[in-house]
């Protein structure tokens, strides 16, 4: 069966291979297969086998697609969650192309975007930022009476489901207090300059005042607003959260390298914790959504 024919519960939209590895390792059945291939002499170790699995991903253009299965417990019942892992590439264009492919060519109930982000405030390691909204930080058409960050004839910012994200935040707070919910800003720039960061933040605040938004501005990334824009066009549910890697200032390059590359095997552990803490609520939410869809279909018939 083609991976396009499978019904997926979740699609993880991930920019970098380094951001995906910790998630892929959570598929216990996959790890058993990889260990068996090592015992059979096909690979020297599990890490080599895992890298081969990722390198062998199906491709559409430059976008790579893998499938994994995560296990959680919902109402004391074990649930296997079928997941598509989409390795998008970095930046808004790659994110938009990948999200269009996932929404148009795969059967997916919900999109999840996670990864590293540069904090607007102090860089506190192991901090999770959950988006209540996302917006662009490098779109400026104010000369034609649009707000900063607003693509013409589109939203100033893209909202996440408020009650659902708030519930996930409360679930995670029982595990760690290093978390917050607010706005994530997307640019096609890796922000490593304090003056640039401050200019973008001031412009976004100006748009917030004009629209009455009170979201706390949390961090920068390079993909999530593009994902949200496409997801909205396809009417797909989206969850966005980030783990802090740097302070989006002059120290950002070294901090990011340390988080993403030097500690690659342990990177994004808090993001993985957030996923597994959230999975029961996500599964319940998907169950409710499917039941509502069935009810509407029956009424239409």
Domains, the chain, in order of start with CATH, read: 3-300 (3.40.50.1580)
- Three-class SS of residue 156? coil
pLDDT score at 172: 97
Separation in Å, CA 173 to CA 162, 215, 217, 247: 17, 19, 19, 22
Cβ pair 21, 6 in contact under 8 A:
no
Query: Burial of 55 by CB count in 10 Å (0-12 exposed, 13-18 middle, 19+ buried)?
Result: exposed
**Which segments of the chain have a pLDDT < 70?**
1, 262-266
pLDDT score at 124: 85
pLDDT score at 253: 96
Beta bridge partners of 114: 241
pLDDT score at 6: 94
Six token digits for residue 183? 């706005």
pLDDT score at 263: 62
pLDDT score at 266: 66
pLDDT score at 265: 57
pLDDT score at 1: 63
pTM exceeds 0.85: yes
Beta bridge partners of 83: 10, 68
């Amino acid at each position: 069966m083609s991976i396009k024919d499978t019904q997926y519960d979740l699609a993880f939209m991930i920019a970098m291979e380094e951001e995906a590895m910790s998630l892929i390792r959570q598929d216990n059945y996959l790890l058993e297969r990889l260990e068996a291939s090592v015992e059979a002499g096909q690979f020297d170790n599990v890490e080599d086998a895992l890298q081969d699995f990722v390198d062998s991903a199906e491709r559409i253009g430059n976008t790579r697609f893998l499938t994994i299965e995560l296990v959680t417990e919902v109402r004391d019942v074990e649930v296997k969650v079928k997941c598509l892992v989409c390795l998008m590439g970095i930046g808004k264009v790659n994110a938009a192309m990948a999200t269009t492919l996932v929404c148009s060519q795969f059967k997916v109930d919900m999109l999840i975007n996670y990864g590293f982000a540069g904090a607007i405030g102090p860089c506190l390691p192991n901090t999770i930022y959950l988006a209540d909204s996302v917006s662009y930080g490098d779109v400026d058409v104010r000369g034609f009476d649009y707000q900063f960050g607003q693509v013409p004839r589109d939203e100033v910012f893209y909202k996440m489901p408020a009650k659902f994200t708030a519930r996930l935040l409360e679930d995670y707070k029982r595990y760690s207090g290093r978390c917050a919910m607010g706005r994530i800003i997307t640019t096609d720039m890796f922000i490593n300059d304090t003056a640039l960061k401050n200019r973008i933040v001031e412009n976004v605040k100006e748009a917030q005042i004009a629209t009455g938004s009170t979201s706390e501005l949390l961090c920068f990334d390079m993909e999530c607003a593009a994902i949200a824009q496409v997801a909205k066009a396809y009417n797909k549910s989206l969850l966005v959260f980030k783990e802090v890697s740097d302070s989006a200032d002059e120290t950002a390059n070294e901090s990011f390298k340390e988080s993403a590359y030097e500690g690659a095997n342990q990177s994004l552990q808090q993001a993985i914790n957030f996923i597994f803490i959230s999975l029961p609520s996500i599964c319940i939410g998907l169950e409710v959504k499917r039941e509502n869809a069935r009810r509407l279909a029956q009424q239409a018939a």
